[in-house]
Amino acid sequence: MSERKVLNKYYPPDFDPAKIPKLKLPKDRQYVVRLMAPFNMRCKTCGEYIYKGKKFNARKETVMNELYMGLPIFRFYIKCTRCLAEITFKTDPENTDYAMEHGATRNFQAEKLVEEAEKRVQQEREEEELNNPMKVLENRTKDSKMEMEVLENLQELKELNQRQAQVDFEGMIDRYRDLEKREKEREKEEDERETKEMLDRVLVKRLRDSDSDSEKEEESCSSQSKELGTDKPTDILTTVKPTEAQGTSAGGVKKAKVESWERSVGTLGSKGALGSLVVRKKPAASVNKPVPVTAAAAPTSQTDSKASTTDSNNASKPVTTQNGSSSLSLLGAYSDSDSE
């Protein structure tokens, strides 16, 4: 079994290459090649633009009787992408480029045409100067005059621009300062506005917190008032609160705590609350000690006034008993007995 990839062929010992017949092919035969358009062109038939780099399946042939320094020149045949018209171009080894031949016109060739024209003029001038020394002198004087004119025109243009262009440096600096000042003012206003917004937000937050606190206090007060059962602030004066007993009596009965203002004035709800403020004349029967007849029969004004003052003093001073109760209750009891 032979190898799969064989590069060398077997030649028998009696092989004669001269006996192999040679193919007689024409020299202008054509080959099908794949190429890209070497430049931008426009079809003459339909006006379709064919851009550089577009790919074609072209036919290639060798141009007969045309050589450049022994190098052959090749011609290519392509078809328009729109109307299928035939377009031909060939190689140009002299300029290392391609030359348009038939069926289309080359675009963007103005620069190349100008360069070619300049080359032709330069070549003609060199040919004239080659055999005519006077022509060389004339061309040099002509070039020097043209150079002087160009320099003069350039200087005039510079002077004209300097006269017309009057730059006001002070105005430029003032405008820059004004612009910078406005920018600073704008930044300052923005900072103030932001600060004001922040303060407003903090104030609103504090107001909300204070409102919530006041609502909580009102709720607590309302709950306390409901627990106490008082509808008005002054009801506390007319109600007796259960307080801790200051002491117990001999019988074990607890007494309510008496406030300092009740000791001097008394409660508003009792009948004898204002008894200490009213001075009443005591009858003779209520006095334990015997009173002389003369004093009882004809009391003088001086003795009456003394009696009233002593009674008022005794009434104003609270007298505490053994069980811790005040004398106000006793005064109230006296006043009740007197009224009966």
221 marked as part of a ligand binding site: no
Cβ contact 328:266 at 8 Å: yes
Using DSSP's 3-state secondary structure scheme, residue 155 falls into helix
pLDDT at position 48 is 94
Q: How far, CA to CA in Å, does 238 sit from each of 82, 138, 214?
A: 117, 140, 29
Cβ contact 257:241 at 8 Å: no
Cβ contact 318:326 at 8 Å: yes
For residue 115, which amino acid is it?
E
DSSP secondary structure string, 47-85?
Answer: --EE-TT-EEEEEEEEEEEEEETTEEEEEEEEE-TTT--
pLDDT at position 212 is 74
- How many beta carbons lie within 10 A of that of residue 314, not counting itself? 12
83 marked as part of a ligand binding site: yes
Helix axes 133-164, 110-131, angle to 10 degrees: 130
Q: Average pLDDT by consecutive 10-residue portion of the chain (340 residues)?
A: 74 92 85 94 94 95 91 95 95 92 88 86 88 87 93 90 74 89 92 90 79 75 61 58 46 56 55 54 55 42 48 47 44 48
Cα dihedral value 186, 191, 192, 197, nearest 10: 130
Using DSSP's 3-state secondary structure scheme, residue 241 falls into coil
CB neighbour list of residue 254: distance below 8 Å, 6 or more residues apart = 245, 248
d(CA 255, CA 324) in angstroms, rounded, equals 8
pLDDT at position 325 is 44
Rg (CA), the chain: 69
Please state the domain extents for the chain: 31-108, 109-194
Greatest extent of the chain over all pairs of C-alpha atoms, in Å: 198
Q: Is 276 exposed, middle or buried (0-12, 13-18, 19+ CB in 10 A)?
A: buried
